[in-house]
Structure 1
Amino acid sequence: MKAGIAVAIALAAAMGSGQALANGNELLQACQSAVRYIDSDGKDGDAYKAGYCFGVINGVSSLQGLTNPSLPKQSRTCLPAQEVSVLQAARIAVKFMTANPEKLHLDDGAVVLLALQRAYPCT
């Protein structure tokens, strides 16, 4: 059971980004910039950082679809029937990282995974 969780987090970390050793600190800055970029129609924020943030989120979301069935129920993410947009997921990630600064040392993919698990637990 713990092995399944470790594999999911390791895979999320590997898919998370092209940057070496990126963690929650970098991801928080990138996702905050991404939200500003989208909210301002590209007038504020950074397109590169937005792409990095959205890429990590898309990678983790795709991975969750593959690994969720093999995880114990308390470690799964149960997304709502309506699709969660990448922007909504970025807002969820920013809220999680801001509220949990002790998690920012973790790999960027692991932080997104934790944020989505917290926002959409399987009950």
Structure 2
Amino acid sequence: MKSKMMCTLTLLASGWTGFVLANGNVLLQQCQDALNVVDGGAGKSAFGGGVCLGKIEGTLDGIEMARGYYSASSGKTLPPFICPPESVTKEQQLRIVVKYLKENPEKLHQHEVTSIALAMASAFPCGKP
């Protein structure tokens, strides 16, 4: 019984820690590492840099998936939130996110997915439908 409770508390604590750390401060550090590597330097953490790139791609994929799900389930088309040109590269996306985070330090407390979405939406706004 005692070991089950300790296991449950450990899992809850680790989940909470992951959520608390999922903010712009951590994202900026990870993305800055990725950008340093892209620019030919050395990042503090190659793993962190890879995590950043995965978070950007996952966020953008998640937004599109949510739009598709909404359209399929409601029969209505949800207007796009982000309208990047087809030619935008992963490196450009990385630079956009780093620039946004550096220029908006007052928003670093926000969840990293929010920060990525806002960075991309500010760089690639959609016109009125």
Question: Which category describes the TM-score, using the shorter chain as reference length?
Answer: 0.7 to 0.9
User: Counterparts of 2:31 and 2:57 in 1: how far apart (Å)?
Assistant: 13
Number of positions where the alignment pairs a residue of Structure 1 with one of Structure 2? 101
- Using structure 2 for the length normalisation, give the TM-score: 0.70
User: Counterparts of 2:63 and 2:26 in 1: how far apart (Å)?
Assistant: 22
Which residue does 2:113 correspond to in 1? 109
Q: In the alignment, residue 42 of structure 2 is paired with which amino acid?
A: D
Which residue does 2:86 correspond to in 1? 81
1:51 paired to 2:55: no
CA shift for structure 1 position 54 = 0.5
User: Counterparts of 1:38 and 1:94 in 2: how far apart (Å)?
Assistant: 13
1:97·1:104 contact (CA, 8 Å) conserved in 2? Answer: yes
CA shift for structure 1 position 61 = 1.3
Which residue does 1:8 correspond to in 2? none
- Using structure 1 for the length normalisation, give the TM-score: 0.73
RMSD across aligned positions (CA): 1.9
Please say which structure displays the higher CA radius of gyration. Answer: 2
Residues 46-91 of structure 1 show CA distances to partners (whole Å, capped at 9, x for unaligned) of 2111111001101111112223465864x71011122x22221111
SS at match of 1:94: helix
User: Counterparts of 2:92 and 2:126 in 1: how far apart (Å)?
Assistant: 19
Name which structure has the greater RCO, CA cutoff 8 Å, separation 6+. Answer: 1
